[in-house]
Amino acid sequence: MSVFLNKRAKGKLRIEKPSQKPFLFHQKLPEYKITPLISLKSLAKNLKIGNIWVKDESNRLGLPAFKILGASWAVYRNIEEKFNIHSENNENFPEFIKKIKKIPSITLITATDGNHGRAVARIAKLYSWNAKIFMPEGSKEARINAILSEGAQVIIVKGDYDLAVQEAAKLESKLNWVIQDTAYENYEKIPKWIIEGYSTLCWEIDNQLSHSKIDLIFIQIGVGSLASAIIKFYKHENYNESPKILGIEPLGVACAKESVKAGKIVTINGPYNSIMAGLNCGTISKISWPLILAGIDGFIEVSNDFAIKGMKTFSNDGIISGETGASGLGGLLELTEQDNGKLFRHQFNLNENSNVLIFSTEGATDPDFYNNEIKKSNIFEKKYLKSC
Ligand SMILES: Cc1ncc(COP(=O)(O)O)c(C=O)c1O
């Protein structure tokens, strides 16, 4: 496995400056705390890389994935726009909720492969609203049940994630808000706000690393909204020393890489063999496409075996990470296994002083699968089961 290098990638981009407003909003939400940034010291030493930093999103605002950062901000921005109600600087969240009680009840609707849908359902619960979540055929029971546990209705479509997106889109109306994390024809505003919401990850990391230099970032790509947030932050023309960014996609579901190769958005139809549910998207988001084309320096297709290797390696360091969450580390492991990673090291100028950043974007969102793979791992039993 090697990196597909994107010859059209640029070092810096002339784009809108990321705002701190979502970060300030998130800090008001119940259960907000900064998520850990962990240094994988022994792995870095073994791989002869200065530092491998991991942003651990296994508990974000009480949910086991980063996705609620986007959903919460997009719904808030829609409330502002539709009802002219704001969360004022000097106001806490319960005060904001009181104002929300005065508007008609809304139903939030989206498609999901698990994490985004649960996040939307949690936001609906927070405002005492309803949620309708569309999921692809073959979605894991654990992920369906997690969404049902938020009080949402789940609809399984007879097809893949792209079909779920289309079905959800049909329900948009005045009091039925479609909160999808992917943009398509005439649907861009909400996904743009979702991308803005994800920038909280970067503001936190900037504080945690005291602005020290990052050389290379591994970022998972499903529809590309998360990657867009990373690109917008780190490749902004005002950012000090922009890192290189590698996009992680599952083997056989590399719709971003194939789009870059073709020079236009390409769809990869399901069914897919990948266990990385969060990345099993056939088409990248319309608004992410120009950012990915200009901002992702290379692409890696990660195999299921290496996603599992990533999970196990994380668990050795006490990080609980599901199949999608660990695919970034899986990609690094896959690249360094081959020819001792010589080519990869050379391509990205990596050495014992380099700082690499990886995102563990979820916890064990399919606990049975996780448990089976990690086998009797003490970490799972002690840490994860306690927090369920
Ligand atoms: C855990 C996890 N990581 C990464 C991603 C990829 O995010 P995006 O679809 O914005 O590219 C997803 C998407 O669902 C996810 O659930």
* pLDDT tens digits, one per residue of 22-69: 999 999 999 999 999 999 999 999 999 999 999 999 999 999 999 999
**Residue written as tokens 């947030």?**
229
Ligand 1 center from residue 374 Cα (angstroms): 22
Kindly list the catalytic residues: 67, 113
Report helix, strand or coil for 43: helix
> Is the CB of 226 within 6 Å of ligand 1?
yes
pLDDT one-digit tens code per residue, 168-195: 999 999 999 999 999 999 999 999 999 9
| CA–CA dist 379, 382 (Å, integer) | 5
pLDDT one-digit tens code per residue, 254-273: 999 999 999 999 999 989 99
Spatial contact of 188 and 286, defined as CB atoms under 8 Å apart? yes
Residues of the chain with pLDDT under 70: 376-388
| CA–CA dist 22, 281 (Å, integer) | 26
Query: In terms of DSSP bridges, do strands 244-250 and 216-220 run parallel, antiparallel, or are they unpaired?
Result: parallel
Residue nearest to atom 14 of ligand 1 (CA): 278
Ligand 1 center from residue 96 Cα (angstroms): 29
> Is the CB of 116 within 6 Å of ligand 1?
yes
| CA–CA dist 161, 333 (Å, integer) | 28
pLDDT of residue 167: 98
The number of beta carbons lying within 10 Å of the beta carbon of residue 351 is 11
| CA–CA dist 16, 272 (Å, integer) | 35
> Is the CB of 358 within 6 Å of ligand 1?
no
Domains of the chain (ranges; CATH) run 4-66+191-387 (3.40.50.1100), 68-185 (3.40.50.1100)
Residues 6+ apart with CB under 8 A from 269: 160, 162, 282
pLDDT of residue 388: 45
| Atom number, ligand 1, closest to the C-alpha of residue 225 | 10
pLDDT of residue 2: 82
| CA–CA dist 195, 216 (Å, integer) | 20
Spatial contact of 226 and 361, defined as CB atoms under 8 Å apart? yes
Spatial contact of 271 and 108, defined as CB atoms under 8 Å apart? no
